Structures are given as C-alpha cells and as structure tokens.
Structure 1
C-alpha cells in the first residue's frame, strides 16, 4: 500500500463518508510528517472550506440523523455509533426518541441536510436544546453552523487517532 493509500484508508472517514477531503489534502501536499492531529486537521479543513458549495452540502448530507433510522438499524459508521452512544442517544426513552424523530424531520425539511452537532461532552438534553435553538436559524446561518460542527467532529476524531502536535 502506498503512503497515499495508507493515509486515505486511515483518515478518509474523518469527514463522514467524504474521503475526497483526505485525498485532496494529500494530493495538494498539505500533509507533513510527523502526522499530528492539529496538522492533519488544518490541512483537511482548508480542503473542506475550499470545496464547492455542492461538495460541502454533500458532506453535510453524509452525516446520519441523531438517534435516527441508521442508528436503530445498526448502520452507522463506527465513529458515529460511538459518538451517539457516548451522548446517550442509544438509550432514549420512547418519548425522547419521538422528539428527536420529529426534530430530525422538521430540520431536514427546512435545511436539506441533517442536524449536525459534535456530541462529545454533551448529553441528550444539551443536544435537544441546541436542536430546538438552531432550527430557528436562517438557512445561511445553519449551513455555516453545521460546517463548523463538521470541522469540530473531524478534530475530535483526529485527536483520537494522532498525537496533538
């Protein structure tokens, strides 16, 4: 396996189902050895921010609903499963699950992508509060907020894989 293939295999999922970000960061010469969480994150974020509006929207749409159908079916990526479980979203009471489903549907209908939040350090009540507050945002505000959350999720995932640097 080449260094490029190894990098993409290792970091291609940092931005959910969006390996093109790792590929472009590597191909543009933005990746330096030794690899650090900070260095790889900066490289990948610059690629994400330079991506077209359509590509960034596709990254947002690659994220699963919180406590949604994929979680119930067990079809989340391992990172997403662990993140949602860490916030207690795998242990919702029926009425809590119904509220998440209602908010997921309303949010996706309004914005065209799922609600995205870096759940590490949050519990279900924190997440519900953010959900209820952010659903009132404008489309532009929410697109930028969701993109910032995607970058935070990537940072947290990289911190679990690499030294901080």
Structure 2
C-alpha cells in the first residue's frame, strides 16, 4: 500500500488524513509525518510503532477499548471501533456471551495489564472468545507482540477503507 502523492510531502495534510488510524494515538501518524515520504504507507506507519519506546507501545495498546466493554455500553467508542465491533456481532451479544466477554476481558487485563486486542473484522464472536481463551496462556511479551500485530491488521483495513 503506497501513499497517494498528495500526502507524500505534506506533513499537515498527512496527519489530517491519517491521524485517526490508530485508536486515540495520533502520535504514530505525527511521527510518521516527520519521515515523509514513506513509500509503503502501512509499513511506514508500523515502523514508527516498532521503533517506539516500550512505554509508547503499551500506551498504544491501552488506548484500545475492551471488546464489548464499558465504552461499547456507554456508546463512547470511536466510530471506527463501533463499526468494527458491530461487524463481529459484539453489539448483539446474548446474556451468556456478554458474561463470557466480561469475564475474559477482566482475566486478560488482570494478567497482562492491557486490553485484549484482535482485528475483529477478520473473525466473529466465537473466534474472538476462542482467541481470548487461547491467548490467556501466553506470556506478556508474546501478548504485546500479538497486540501490535493485531493493531497492524486493524490499521491495514482502516487504510483500505480510506482508499
């Protein structure tokens, strides 16, 4: 995926166009804008994440909402997150599914200190629950890398939506 030429050398326009790609984390796009032109847009953005400090990477992960969590209930999700969670049926949970999500969210956050991240547009409710259960047995470093990879997948789909 390459940048369109309009944004290749205009940091302000680049940030205006892509600043919301990363959930509540415009710093990724702002830092990428300092490196224009990027060539491959997705790779350039993810290189910023890969080179970020451990604290910034954790902050990026923590900026994401829990799946079917408080932000979904309060309707305070970003438009992109709301649409993505709805695409996986997370806005239509049975009482049992709702309890499963909340129990797994709590267990995951207690174990790792950040929310479970998965690209929900590539799966469904059952797949998400299975991944949550499976990934609970990972170590923290593995989960940090898994979360970053999933954020990369989310951003790739969001970029495709902008095309």
TM-score, reference length from structure 2:
0.91
Partner residue in 1 for 2:101:
100
Q: Which structure has more RCO (C-alpha within 8 Å, separation ≥ 6)?
A: 1
Quick one: distance in 2 between partners of 1:76 and 1:16?
Answer: 10
Q: Secondary structure at the match of 2:102?
A: helix
Alignment of 1:131-142 (within 5 A): 131-142=132-143
The 8 Å contact of residues 90 and 125 in structure 2, kept in 1 or not, is answered as yes
Alignment of 1:5-154 (within 5 A): 5-31=12-38, 39-154=40-155
List gaps (5 residues or longer) in structure 2.
Answer: 1-8
Deviation for aligned residue 1:5: 2.5
Q: Secondary structure at the match of 2:72?
A: helix
Q: Secondary structure at the match of 1:56?
A: helix
The 8 Å contact of residues 30 and 43 in structure 1, kept in 2 or not, is answered as no
The 8 Å contact of residues 31 and 48 in structure 2, kept in 1 or not, is answered as yes
List gaps (5 residues or longer) in structure 1.
Answer: 33-38
* RMSD over equivalenced CA pairs, Å: 1.3
Quick one: distance in 2 between partners of 1:46 and 1:30?
Answer: 13
Q: 111-120 or 6-15: which moved more?
A: 6-15
Equivalent residue pairs, number: 155
Check 1:93–1:158 CA distance in 2 against 1; reply closer, same or farther (3 A cut): same
Quick one: distance in 2 between partners of 1:80 and 1:22?
Answer: 18
Per-residue CA deviations over 1:85-143 (Å, capped at 9, x if unaligned) read 00000000111101100110110111011000001131100110001100111111111
Quick one: distance in 1 between partners of 2:107 and 2:17?
Answer: 35
